[in-house]
Amino acid sequence: MTTIASRLQAVKARIFEAARAAGRTPGEITLVAVSKTFPPQAVAEACAAGQTDFGENYAQEGIEKIAALFDLIRQRNASPERPQTWHYIGPIQSNKTRSIAEHFDWVHGIDREKIAERLSASRPDDKPPLQVCIQVNVSGEASKSGVTPDAVFGLAQTIMRLPRLRLRGLMAIPEPTSDPALQRSRLRMLREIRDELLRRGVELDTLSMGMSDDLEAAIAEGATMVRVGRAIFGERGASAG
């Protein structure tokens, strides 16, 4: 078993145990393997071990990797099908919206109406609507992307009017902390915002939260997607960012 395959198995075991401890079904939780800065060969190893959902933080790197992985799999299987689902989870620059809309299946970080509108306008008609989440700044950090909690409903209304987007849920990247109570409270805030939107008639089924260090807490608070990079692919080099 390769190192990536064994790490992937270990992460899936963590998800299983966390779901069981929370009284949830493991099948409710999608694992997104965050492959930024790692080569297509590493993603291919994860694919061979059964992983299908992958996340990228940089648009150009992700697009190049999608194409490279497609070629690798086609060479191995002689099949044109692309079984992977690709999630864009990084900050979105206006000049990258077209390429993101054309190549990715999910976008996790919408935090401005302008970005939502550009993504919808750029989504090709021959593709299904782009699945999207609103990023919420649950920790109030000035340096972090995301809308404030009181602005989520207005942005949700805008997105729901856009024809080439489908609003699926909310995403957050809380600040790192060694305080378990603070960690849980940030994650709980996202769930409570989701619950309030549901009460106001916004249909949502996704909570994208939880990474290598806090996926257990996220699952306990209701995460339906966890985004894990380091625990699957290993440490990134100092130059990787």
> Nearest-CA neighbor of 215 among 6, 12, 45?
12
Retrieve residue 46's tokens.
């994860």
Cα 110–chain centre separation:
11
CB contact set of 192 (below 8 Å; sequence gap of 6+)? none
**β-strand partners of 170:** 134, 207
The answer to whether 84 touches 71, Cβ cutoff 8 Å, is no
In tens, the pLDDT along 48-66 reads: 899 999 999 999 999 999 9
The answer to whether 191 touches 222, Cβ cutoff 8 Å, is yes
Cα–Cα distance for residue pair 217/227, rounded to 1 Å: 13
Q: What amino acid occupies position 17?
A: E
- Has residue 160 got a pLDDT over 60? yes
- Has residue 80 got a pLDDT over 50? no
Least confident of 26-35, 89-98, 228-237: 228-237
Retrieve residue 104's tokens.
């990715």
pLDDT band at 236 (very low <50, low <70, confident <90, very high): confident
Ranges assigned E (strand) in 53-200: 53-56, 85-88, 106-110, 130-135, 165-171
Q: If you classify domain 3-22+29-234 with CATH, what class do you get?
A: alpha beta
- Has residue 77 got a pLDDT over 50? yes
> Nearest-CA neighbor of 137 among 118, 109, 179, 102?
109
pLDDT band at 10 (very low <50, low <70, confident <90, very high): very high
